[in-house]
Chain A
Amino acid sequence: IVMTQSPATLSLSPGDTATLSCRAGQFVGNKLAWYHQKPGQAPRLLIYGASTRATGVPATISGSGSGTEFTLTISRLQSEDFAVYYCQQYNEWPLTFGGGTKVEIK
């Protein structure tokens, strides 16, 4: 299943709200996870089941959507939020990731 993320880059200021999109090429239900990754680090799980926050993830990060269209929203951007974000479907093998959205400081 091809996962398409948009936009490729989002330039925002601290305190802004980021809205990231992920589209699945086929139906994946709610079997969608989000990760973020900072340079030189491993990815970190943020959201699973399309909208359930992982342990320790702040309420400023929320996920929504089902079927083929999904959104990750990050409110009140802080310095630690500037990173690359990936979606991943786990509805069928092979598991597939989107190409990523980079959230950078404007």
Chain B
Amino acid sequence: VQLLESGGGLVQPGGSLRLSCAASGITFTNYGMAWVRQAPGKGLEWVSEISGSGETAYYLDSVKGRFTISRDNSKNTVYLQLNGLRAEDTAVYFCAKDLRMGMFFDIWGQGTMVTVSS
């Protein structure tokens, strides 16, 4: 079982990025998938999660209206579109597999770094 994130990088304030997380070794549609971030030297912060069908999604208040989570079950991939980026969004973004939906995370990717700076 593996989760592989990509898409991070350096972006100016107000800019956009799309993060991807490709899963292998699991029946992808059975599980909720989440993004959890970690600012440099700080703790973990849940950002967003999407149900196995893709019909239901939840967001951290501070990213609502700016970030959008989606998934393509034909590609076993979950995405996080980041718009209107702010300096405080700078973090390592981890993709994580939920046991079902709205529970805990038993598989994590290695993370992708997003840096928001001018």
Contacts and interface: CB of A to CB of B under 8 A. Distances in A.
- State which size class the interface on B falls in: 20 to 34
B26 interface: no
B79 interface: no
A57 B46 CA distance: 23
Contacts of B99: 48
**Which of B45, B49, B102, B111 has the largest count of A CB atoms less than 10 A from its CB?**
B102
A97 B102 CA distance: 13
Interface residues of A, number: 22
Interface string B94-118: 1000010011111011110000000
Interface string A71-105: 00000000000000010101001111111100000
B87 interface: no
A86 B102 contact: no
